[in-house]
Amino acid sequence: MASGIIGRVGRCTVPVMRYTLVNRDDPSIENFRGMFFKVRRALGTTAFGINEVRMPPGFEGPEHDEVETGHEEVYIVLEGSGTFTIDGEAVAVSSGVYLRVDAETTRQTIAGADGLTFVVVAAKPQPTYDGRPSL
């Protein structure tokens, strides 16, 4: 893990965090069962959740929703293929696909024959987007 630190206040040098860099195989990334990699914790971000999931062929993730957190989720498929079952509807995914799911929606992920690796980004929806209007 690398962090950019700079800063000078008056006569005293003060560390200021400017960035955090981690490689996906960095040992500082805590993982659960070797499949769920807690990238948010390693990066130290609090604005949104971001994790990487690496599912072996045929693995079925738990059916769940995000009502408790209130987070909508965006899944970004990096490698492999599989199916997300969204409120009972099978949605095929493969490398390069982006999928957004509301917090209240039930979802389950099933890895295909080559496995499935994806990043999930999660946050509570806002009434309007508060970033740069051009994005």
Q: For 77-134, write each residue's pLDDT tens digit.
A: 999 999 999 999 999 999 999 999 999 999 999 999 999 999 999 999 999 988 898 8
Is 37 strand, coil or helix? strand
pLDDT at 13 over 70: no
Domain housing 115: 22-123
Residue 40 resides in a domain:
yes
Dihedral angle of Cα 122, 132, 45, 97, to the nearest 10 degrees: 40
Q: Is the pLDDT of residue 65 over 70?
A: yes
Mean predicted confidence (pLDDT) in 20-41: 92
Q: Is residue 5 part of a domain?
A: no
The number of residues making up the chain comes to: 135
3-state class of 129 per DSSP? coil
In a domain, 53, yes or no: yes
**Is 111 part of a structural domain of the chain?**
yes
What proportions of the chain, in percent to the nearest 5, are helix, strand and coil? 5, 50, 45
d(C-alpha 34, C-alpha 28), whole Å: 13
* 42 phi and psi angles, rounded to 5 deg: -65, -35
**Rounded CA separation 55/118 (Å):** 9
Q: Residue 61 domain-assigned?
A: yes
* pTM, to two decimals: 0.84
Q: Say how far apart CA 42 and CA 24 lie, in whole Å.
A: 10
Domain-located, residue 41? yes
If one counts the domains in the chain, the total is 1
Q: For residue 82, list its beta bridge partners.
A: 93, 111
CATH classification at residue 76: 2.60.120.10
Residue 4 domain-assigned (yes or no): no
Rounded Cα distance, 123 and 69, in Å: 9
43 found inside a domain:
yes
